[in-house]
Amino acid sequence: MIKSLLDLVFASLGFLLLSPILLAFAIWIKLDSPGPVFYRGVRAGKNFKPFRIFKFRSMVVNAEQIGGPSTPGDDPRVTKSGKFLRRFKLDELPQLINVVKGEISLVGPRPEVMEYAKLYTGEEKIVYSVKPGMTDYASLWNIDEGAVLAGAKTTEEAERKYLKEIRPEKVRLQMKYVKEMSVWTDIKIILLTVKSILFD
């Protein structure tokens, strides 16, 4: 209850304060490439319930038809504005809308595409007993997945690399968060996330 209230208050406040910046990014995206401002991909929420996430569109409009869900840092599908937004995780800011709607939390396991969510088995399913979030321990461990996947020659190779090199540790850290979650844990993760984006 307290977590949901804090999510609503801080997400609403954050959205209002950042609205001029969000508007500027929206204009840049429209001028940079044809297509909508937002990307509304389907993600797995609490109890595996699907929902549409809000993100600034950072790729060409037909990106999902061209390649898979894993995105290397040098992926040609990424637009010029998208490279900047992804570098500083600014493409994630519209997810404040999802927080206000109650679909995700400020802090929680990062929401996966449905095909990856189906890979969670046994004890791993504890990750879906809570709302997903904008940031978590896994985000701090690997702040830029694109850099890790850079160099993959195809999106299929990038996906295999993701499943082998990123997913195991990501799931472990997601489970760690669920087992340790508290208001103080959330505050710590938010502060560390800001630090990682600004100074790392």
User: Measured between alpha carbons, how far is residue 111 from residues 81, 138, 160 in Å?
Assistant: 23, 11, 19
Q: Which tokens is 22 given? A: 């969000």
The Cα 42–Cα 65 span in angstroms is 15
Angle between helix axes 80-87 and 2-32 (nearest 10 degrees) is 150
* Model pLDDT, residue 144: 65
Rounded mean pLDDT for each run of 10 residues along the chain, 200 residues in total: 91 95 97 94 97 94 67 75 90 96 97 95 97 94 71 77 89 96 94 84
When divided into structural domains, the chain yields a total of 1
Domain holding 106, by residue range, is 2-199
Q: What is the identity of the amino acid at 69?
A: P
* Model pLDDT, residue 69: 67
The whole-model pTM stands at 0.88
